[in-house]
Amino acid sequence: MQAFTLEFGRYRLDLGYKTCIMGILNATPDSFSDGGRFYTYDNAVKHGLKLAKDGAHILDIGGESSRPFAAPVSEQEELDRVIPVIKALAKHISIPISIDTVKSAVAKQALDAGASIINDISAFEKDPAMADLAAQRQTPVILMHMKGTPKTMQVNPDYDDLMMEITSYLASRADYAVKKGIRKEHIILDPGIGFGKTVEHNLVLINHLEKITDLGFPVLVGPSRKSFIQKILSGKEKIPVGPDHIRTEYGTLAAAAASIMKGAHIVRVHDVEKLTSFSRILDSIRNA
């Protein structure tokens, strides 16, 4: 697979031969996956430290839920949720912190607090000032494909040509980023598993991930605890399988394995400890 070196500030990430694990820290009361368990400051900081200890290479912190049908929160509310957590964790962990936001004002304060990567699920479309900020700060960016908004994305998502549309969109947003002054070496692409996609769309996307990697950028995939895994595992019997069910964890590992074997450079997950051991074996097989 194509390898990349991501250098920024005091950090260097070698992407390719070893899977890069991004640990998810949702400082929100309404996340689909962890039900607000890390909403309080103390719990969020404690969990962030655990994710770093468990082997995360990047810590992704977000203060606004992007679950299906989620309503947006105010800028101040988002700042209140993430900035104290970032400030605390930046003093105690040696891995880079990513700020998961679509608001440039939030991203700016997060960078000032110690974050060093911007993860924008709107790929700069929600707030064009985000691109200017990233260019000015020479910050790596993650640009994601999403059909619609979190509030509307799962209302009958439809594509004429799934892979062509997503690939073209990501290529155009990467081109936009470069034109805004962001270094090509600082761009990471995310096809947006679960963001305006049906179960079948997600499966096809993972199975044909090479079409995204062929664009020539590092690729991030975030399958962790997504509803398509839960729906598949509930089966025809309609057995309830929620985000915290052990079957969902196994399903996440399967989706992560397929993504890695198809060329994903970064995998974004909730359970870093399991994926750390899991990906070491996959990487050994892939590089043999």
Instruction: Report residue 143 as tokens.
Output: 């640009």
Token pair 């060093």 in the structure block, residue = 116
Kindly tell me if the per-residue pLDDT of 238 is higher than 80. Answer: no
Closest C-alpha to 65, from 102, 40, 110: 102
pLDDT of residue 156: 74
Would you state the pLDDT for residue 272? 97
Q: Percentage of residues in the chain with pLDDT exceeding 70? A: 92
Of 72-76, 144-148, 153-157, 171-175, where does the model show the most confidence? 171-175
Contact 222, 205 (CB under 8 A): no
Which candidate, 170, 163, 249, places its Cα nearest to that of 211? 163
- Residue 265 CA: distances (Å) to CA of 17, 38, 48, 216: 8, 27, 22, 12
Q: In the structure encoding, which two tokens stand for residue 67, read together?
A: 């679950």
SS3 69: coil
Average pLDDT along the chain: 92
- pLDDT band for position 240 (50/70/90)? confident
pLDDT(108) > 80: yes
35 pLDDT above the threshold of 50 = no
Q: What band does 230 get if pLDDT is binned at 50, 70 and 90?
A: very high
The answer, yes or no, to whether residue 31 has pLDDT greater than 60, is no
**Which CATH superfamily, name and number, covers 16-286?**
Dihydropteroate synthase-like (3.20.20.20)
Mean pLDDT of 106-132: 97
The pTM score is: 0.93
Q: What secondary structure does DSSP assign to 124-181, as a single string?
A: TSS-THHHHHHHHHT--EEEE--SS-TTTTTSS---SSHHHHHHHHHHHHHHHHHHTT
* Helix locations, the chain, DSSP H: 41-53, 75-90, 104-113, 129-137, 162-179, 199-207, 210-213, 227-234, 246-261, 272-286
DSSP 8-state assignment for residue 257: H
Query: Does residue 198 surpass a pLDDT of 90?
Result: yes
SS3 119: strand
How would residue 151 be classed by pLDDT, with cut points 50, 70 and 90?
A: low
- 8 touches 15 (CB < 8 A): no
Catalytic annotation, residues: 226, 268
Residue of higher predicted confidence among 73 and 259: 259
Give the model confidence (pLDDT) of 53-66 as tens digits.
999 999 999 999 77
Classify the C-alpha dihedral 231-233-238-244 as positive or negative. Answer: negative
Q: d(Cα 227, Cα 223) in Å, to the nearest integer?
A: 9
Specify the pLDDT at position 27: 86
Answer whether residue 83 shows pLDDT above 70.
yes
* pLDDT in the model for residue 23: 98
pLDDT of 208 reads: 98
